[in-house]
Amino acid sequence: MRIAMISMHTSPLQQPGSGDAGGMNVYVLSTACELARRGVQVDVFTRATRPSQGHVVEVEPGLRVINVVAGPYEGLSKEELPTQLAAFAGGILQFVRCEQLHYDLIHSHYWLSGQVGWLLRDLWQAPLVHTAHTLAAVKNTHRTSNDTPESDARRICEQQLVDNADILVVNTPEETNDLVRHYDAEPEKVAVIAPGADVELFTPGKQRNTELARRNLGIPLHTKVVAFVGRLQEFKGPQVLLKAVAELFRRDPDRDMRVLLCGGPSGAQATVEHYTELARSLGICHRVRFLDPRPAEELVAIFQAADVVAVPSYNESFGLVAIEAQACGTPVIAARVGGLPIAVDDGTTGVLVEDHEPGHWADAIASLLDDDQRRIAMGVAAREHAMQFTWARAAEELEQVYGQALALSVDSCVQRKPEGA
């Protein structure tokens, strides 16, 4: 089986944590790697953003990333990429023609890629599997007052994909409900496949590892640590955590606690300075450390160094950070939104907070930091919970969905075949 994966607006090889790179990058790369290890030939098409990337990158046997030139390398925001859909599709067609390739199936990620996948589906007569990752209607429902609403154009394009894709892959049953409620999707066209984590990389650290991680981060060994890992934008809620921490110090000025925020800005108006200034205005700047985005191999140390990890997002289709943290044996405090109630077992592997009120988040953080026995027990359970979510299992289920899509395509062709032909 040869699969064309399309991830136009962000490369799976890009460092997650800033700009447009995040959980989707991890998802695409991780599932593609596992599919390749299962014998599926995978080509991932993405838009080239610098000439030094090379046209074709051999990631591992059976997996290539093809950087397609479509528009200028730099200076295009995600909102401007629709102007390059034709150029991007043309670049894919040129590559396929030159290489004399045939793809059995197309798997598009995000609505921009879906529009290209929809075109290629009809040109190649290959089934289209689509994963939205986020939906305009859902983001607009949960956005903060400072967030720019998603456009009607995106909403219309997503509706077209729901109507025309052969199978829609989602992370949770909640996403199925979102597709049905907001886009009138047919439930039988939706396949639920939970993402995973690299549970061999993300593992609990022995005491020596934890001490080393803290020493390298410049954190005292006996200080309680709360970590946030993700893009610095209102939608991800770093401001909620900072205000909650300020409330904790208001209640107890002598509390021995540090906060780590690991990630880069995302969005036209987002800057690290905005959040450092917020910490300064709250009087907690000396308690907070901002860390640049880093590869998964280095994130492990942050998860191991933390006593708890906070995920105060306003919505998450699943919440990969929550699973990765729990795989390291670290409990998670998360908002009860989107897929996070599945990623976090409330009361067993962490705590779910009903809203984004800083006082309620302060209560939740204190409930774990001040109860060592409960927090340690949650850490043990967290690892066991995370072991249910692996990329190998996700890839196995994806391959089954691909088989279903191919079977549906064959049936459709048979039904369209003229009588007597």
The answer to whether the annotation marks 306 as part of a ligand binding site is: yes
Question: Is 20 assigned a ligand-binding role in the annotation?
Answer: yes
Burial class (CB in 10 A: 0-12, 13-18, 19+), 71: middle
Candidates 299, 288, 295; CA nearest to 219 is: 288
Helices 23-37 and 391-416, packing angle to 10 deg: 80
DSSP 355: S
> Do the annotations mark residue 8 as ligand-binding?
no
304 is known to lie in a ligand binding site: yes
Name, in order, each residue with C-beta under 8 angstroms of 372's C-beta and a sequence gap of 6 or more.
Answer: none
Determine whether the annotation assigns residue 231 to a binding site.
Answer: yes
Is residue 94 annotated as involved in ligand binding?
Answer: no
- 390 annotated to a ligand binding site: no
> For residue 335, what are the β-bridge partners?
353
378 annotated binding-site participant: no
Is 24 a known ligand-binding residue? yes
Q: Does 189 belong to an annotated binding site?
A: no
Residue 136 CA to residue 156 CA, distance in Å, equals 9
Calculated CA dihedral for residues 181, 184, 188, 194, nearest 10 degrees:
-50
Residue 306 near residue 227, CB atoms below 8 Å: yes
210 is in an annotated binding site: no
How far CA 76 is from CA of 9, 82, 84, 163, 285, in Å, comes to 10, 10, 10, 29, 34
CA 71, distance to chain mean position in Å, is 26
Q: Known binder of ligand: residue 110?
A: yes
Please return the burial class of 180, using the count of CB atoms within 10 Å of its CB with bins 0-12, 13-18 and 19+: middle
Please tell me whether 269 is known to bind a ligand.
no
Nearest CA to 290 out of 307, 273, 314, 310 is that of: 273
324 is in an annotated binding site: yes
| Residue partners of 252: CB distance under 8 A and separation at least 6 | none
Question: Does 154 belong to an annotated binding site?
Answer: yes
Is 15 one of the annotated binding-site residues? Answer: yes
Cα–Cα dist 15/26, whole Å: 9
Residue with token string 């290539």: 64
Q: Is 404 annotated as a binding residue?
A: no
CA angle 66, 71, 74 (to 5 degrees): 90
What are the strands of the beta sheet with 257-262, ordered from one edge?
Answer: 288-291, 257-262, 224-229, 308-311, 332-335, 350-353
Binding residues for Mg(2+): 303-304, 306, 330
Binding residues: 9, 15-16, 20-25, 78, 110, 134, 154, 231, 236, 294, 303-304, 306, 316, 324, 330
Binding residues for 1D-myo-inositol 3-phosphate: 9, 20-25, 78, 110, 134, 154
Binding residues for UDP-N-acetyl-alpha-D-glucosamine: 15-16, 23, 231, 236, 294, 316, 324
